Amino acid sequence: MCYTIKSCRCPKCNKELNRATNATGNSSPQGGDLSICGYCTSFLVFREDTSVELLDRDEFLKLPKETRERMIDARDLLNQLSLFKQVKTSHFN
């Protein structure tokens, strides 16, 4: 499910973020929830006001191993989808 969130910018790539999906349930993002920028694939964490900040390395390493692995898998999938879109677009233009 896709949710509209308070418009903010990715702290890494500065792209506007105004939507979020929830891969594990049907609730809108809450403070402390993890996310990944759909543009640059940086790991993010939602603040209480649903803006985001970068998830720093120490915070990432404190996460359970399974959570870290799932985030890395999701980031890898986003990167693969991005490459597919680039190839598909360049192939047909």
Range of the domain at 10: 2-92
Tell me the average pLDDT across 18-32.
Answer: 82
pLDDT above 90 (res 37): yes
What average pLDDT does the chain have? Answer: 86
Number of domains forming the structure of the chain: 1
At 38 the three-state DSSP class reads coil
84 — pLDDT class (breaks 50, 70, 90): low
Tell me the average pLDDT across 29-58.
Answer: 93
21's tokens: 């999906």
Q: What is the pTM of this model?
A: 0.82
pLDDT above 80 (res 22): no
C-alpha distance from residue 32 to each of 12, 13, 16, 80, 86 (Å):
18, 21, 20, 27, 32
